Amino acid sequence: MPLNEPTPEFLSKLASITDSATPAARYLEEPRGRYEGQGVAVVRPRSVNKVSEIVRLCNTHKVGVVPYGGGTGLVGGQTSIAGPKPVILSLERLNSIRDVDPADNILTAEAGVILADIQNAADDVQRLFPLSLASEGSCQIGGNLATNAGGVNVLRYGNTRDLCLGIEAVLPDGSIFGGLKRLRKDNTGYNLRNLLIGAEGTLGIITAATLRLMPKPVEVETAFLAIPNPQAGVEILSRLSTQLGEVTSAFELIHRQGLEFLNETGIEFTEPLPSNPEWMVLLECGAGGDSGLKDNLERILGDAFDAGLIADAVLAQNEAQRQAFWNIREHIPVANRRIGVISSHDISVPVSQVPDFIKRTAQMVKSINPKFRINCFGHLGDGNLHYNIYPPKGAKRAEFDGIRASLARNVYELVDGFGGSFSAEHGIGRMKKADLLKYSDPAKLTAMRAIKSALDPNGIMNPGAVI
Ligand SMILES: Cc1cc2nc3c(=O)[nH]c(=O)nc-3n(C[C@H](O)[C@H](O)[C@H](O)COP(=O)(O)OP(=O)(O)OC[C@H]3O[C@@H](n4cnc5c(N)ncnc54)[C@H](O)[C@@H]3O)c2cc1C
């Protein structure tokens, strides 16, 4: 059913129930500058009841609503680009931490709380909220849930979905789903919480969530390794989990190209390893007190060195050095943006297949243009790579606009052949809709359409996104 252009009557009713304003530029931009957004008004409600009133009005008038969190989404999910202009509903004023309970290891936050503020609130009670992304200073927990964000600690703690026990949300008819459960066991029919998580605002607006807190590791060890090739990384990861159990929280693959981009774009950093290796791993492990983590880690890394899996390694000696290591990893996406990517891919394949995937994809890219630069990095521990292709040094990405689509298709065909996913952690948004249609199971697509039309028969929720 087509949506309506907002009428003056609708806008005056909207203004009578909430402050509404012409959207400022920041609500219409997105981090990669690929889309220019549109919106008839931005509203910033302070309560779930107000969100409900706004959504009910939009549903009655068949006007679209785009939920807006921190605006850091990388697939255009928060940016309407076509069709009748929607209302942009920003969660920024719904930003209280309602409760922190270290005894139950639970924190209840409203959707607009910035991720870093949740991490800090957990830290204040000697707990860990392990979701960690480079955008954590701007993204909101509602956006994290809506995108089921991943980040660097998925290996040990899971995606955002795994960190959420309950959800409060406003459904497309304006009804309030009061699902702020604090239970670890609750097998009572269809799981609406899990349906809303990862739905990118197409099935409702998340207004609050109960989140799981973890014990804070007493000892944390962070290391930069030089490895001869990605296969060595996979083998080291396997040795760590076999010998230490689930203590590895991050296992990031980094290619030399990433560090060269830092140099090229003037981002200051200290070379972590004197040998300037082609492939590196940044790993982090954490454990309780008296676990002997450091000794065990040194022993495992020493054995890996003897086996030729590590060429060089440095363990962070203090928090400043640890931060310096993570600064390198977190600034790689910043440098990437400054260089200007031709085609970027947030993909996953089974961990054991990562080395073969990297080899075959590089062959494909170089066969198209041997001077293309590849920055392949990411969460090796999850089989999730950011496989990005850049113009030769001195050239501009615009010169290669004509081949972007075919490059991406070639990468996704390889991913599909490895049984992988064309969108490991960023979602579908508006950017990857065609890929969803191409690579998804037909029965899954039929079920998705049925769910969407059952919950949102007028199609008001984030129109044009996902499906
Ligand atoms: C530098 C950088 C690094 C990043 N690193 C990672 C990473 O490691 N892993 C990762 O997974 N992502 C990463 N991202 C992507 C992004 O930060 C995540 O997708 C994040 O979860 C988006 O949160 P947000 O609050 O900014 O949401 P927005 O960008 O505002 O919105 C994203 C989507 O969620 C919907 N939405 C927002 N809030 C709600 C709500 N309350 N209810 C319903 N729907 C809502 C929007 O409509 C949109 O579809 C990165 C982005 C940047 C810029």
- Encode the chain (467 residues) as per-residue pLDDT tens digits: 689 999 999 999 999 999 999 999 999 999 988 899 999 999 999 999 999 999 999 999 999 999 999 999 999 999 999 999 999 999 999 999 999 999 999 999 999 999 999 999 999 999 999 999 989 999 999 999 999 999 999 999 999 999 999 999 999 999 999 999 899 899 999 999 999 999 999 999 999 999 999 999 999 999 999 999 999 999 999 999 999 998 999 999 999 999 999 999 999 999 999 989 999 999 999 998 888 999 999 999 999 999 999 999 999 999 999 999 999 999 999 999 999 999 999 999 999 999 999 999 999 999 999 999 999 999 999 999 999 999 999 999 899 999 999 999 999 999 999 999 999 999 999 999 999 999 999 999 999 999 999 999 999 999 999 99
Helix axes 319-339 and 256-264, enclosed angle (nearest 10)? 80
Q: Which of 89, 79, 9 is nearest to 54 (CA)?
A: 89
Written as one letter, the residue type at 418 is F
210 CA to centre of ligand 1 in angstroms: 18
Q: How far apart are CA 342 and CA 348, in angstroms?
A: 20
- CB–CB of 300/225 below 8 Å? no
| Whole-number pLDDT of residue 378 | 92
Nearest CA to ligand 1 atom 20: 144
Tell me how far CA of residue 138 lies from CA of 71, 91, 351, in angstroms: 8, 13, 30
- CB–CB of 66/89 below 8 Å? yes
Which atom of ligand 1 is nearest to 141's Cα?
25
Say if ligand 1 is within 6 A of residue 91 CB.
Answer: yes
- CB–CB of 197/145 below 8 Å? yes
Where are the CATH 3.30.70.2190 domain residues in the chain?
Answer: 219-417
Q: What is the pLDDT of residues 284-308, one digit of tens each?
A: 999 988 889 999 999 999 999 999 9
135 CA to centre of ligand 1 in angstroms: 8
Say if ligand 1 is within 6 A of residue 205 CB.
Answer: yes
395 CA to centre of ligand 1 in angstroms: 31
Q: What's the CATH code, domain 97-215?
A: 3.30.465.10
| Whole-number pLDDT of residue 33 | 86
Q: Which of 380, 227, 249, 247 is nearest to 301 (CA)?
A: 227
Which of 28, 34, 95, 139 gets mutated to test ligand 1 (max ligand atoms within 8 A of its CB)?
139
165 CA to centre of ligand 1 in angstroms: 19
Longest dimension (CA), the chain: 75
Domain 219-417 = CATH 3.30.420.40: no
Q: Which of 185, 227, 213 is nearest to 358 (CA)?
A: 227
244 CA to centre of ligand 1 in angstroms: 33
**Strands, sheet with 65-68, edge to edge from the N-terminal-most edge strand:** 20-21, 41-43, 87-90, 65-68
Q: What is the pTM of this model?
A: 0.94
- Write out the DSSP string of 9-37: HHHHHHHHHS-EEPPPGGGT--TTS----
Q: How far apart are CA 455 and CA 442, in angstroms?
A: 20
Q: What is the pLDDT of residues 306-344, one digit of tens each?
A: 999 999 999 999 999 999 999 999 999 999 999 999 999
Which atom of ligand 1 is nearest to 73's Cα?
29
Where are the CATH 3.30.465.10 domain residues in the chain?
Answer: 97-215
Q: How far apart are CA 83 and CA 223, in angstroms?
A: 50
Say if ligand 1 is within 6 A of residue 112 CB.
Answer: no
| Whole-number pLDDT of residue 257 | 97
What is the Cα 111 distance to its own chain's centre?
Answer: 16
- CB–CB of 150/424 below 8 Å? yes
Q: How far apart are CA 284 and CA 341, in angstroms?
A: 29
E-state strands within 73-139: 87-90, 97-101, 106-110, 127-128
Q: Which of 205, 213, 261 is nearest to 374 (CA)?
A: 261
72 CA to centre of ligand 1 in angstroms: 5
307 CA to centre of ligand 1 in angstroms: 41
Say if ligand 1 is within 6 A of residue 161 CB.
Answer: no
Q: How far apart are CA 322 and CA 249, in angstroms?
A: 14
Q: Cβ–Cβ contacts within 10 Å for residue 321, how many?
A: 16
Written as one letter, the residue type at 259 is L
The enclosing H or E element of 205 equals: strand 205-212
Q: How far apart are CA 140 and CA 67, in angstroms?
A: 12
Say if ligand 1 is within 6 A of residue 200 CB.
Answer: yes
Say if ligand 1 is within 6 A of residue 11 CB.
Answer: no
- CB–CB of 269/328 below 8 Å? yes
Tell me how far CA of residue 323 lies from CA of 71, 223, 280, 282, 441, in angstroms: 26, 11, 17, 12, 42
Q: How far apart are CA 304 and CA 306, in angstroms?
A: 5
At 299, is the secondary structure helix, strand, or coil?
helix
119: which 2 tokens?
Answer: 């991490």
- CB–CB of 168/175 below 8 Å? no
* Bridge partner residues of 364 (DSSP): none
353: which 2 tokens?
Answer: 């297949």
Q: How far apart are CA 288 and CA 345, in angstroms?
A: 37
* Bridge partner residues of 68 (DSSP): 90
| Whole-number pLDDT of residue 1 | 67
Say if ligand 1 is within 6 A of residue 68 CB.
Answer: yes
Q: How far apart are CA 7 and CA 389, in angstroms?
A: 45
Which of 50, 74, 338, 386 gets mutated to test ligand 1 (max ligand atoms within 8 A of its CB)?
74
- Write out the DSSP string of 282-348: EEEEEE-TTS-HHHHHHHHHHHHHHTTS-SEEEE--SHHHHHHHHHHHHHHHHHHHHH--SEEEEEE
Q: How far apart are CA 317 and CA 164, in angstroms?
A: 34
Which atom of ligand 1 is nearest to 134's Cα?
3
187: which 2 tokens?
Answer: 């097998």
Q: Which of 466, 460, 421, 383 is nearest to 171 (CA)?
A: 460
Say if ligand 1 is within 6 A of residue 140 CB.
Answer: yes
251 CA to centre of ligand 1 in angstroms: 22
Q: Which of 72, 73, 75, 70 is nearest to 91 (CA)?
A: 70
What is the Cα 93 distance to its own chain's centre?
Answer: 22
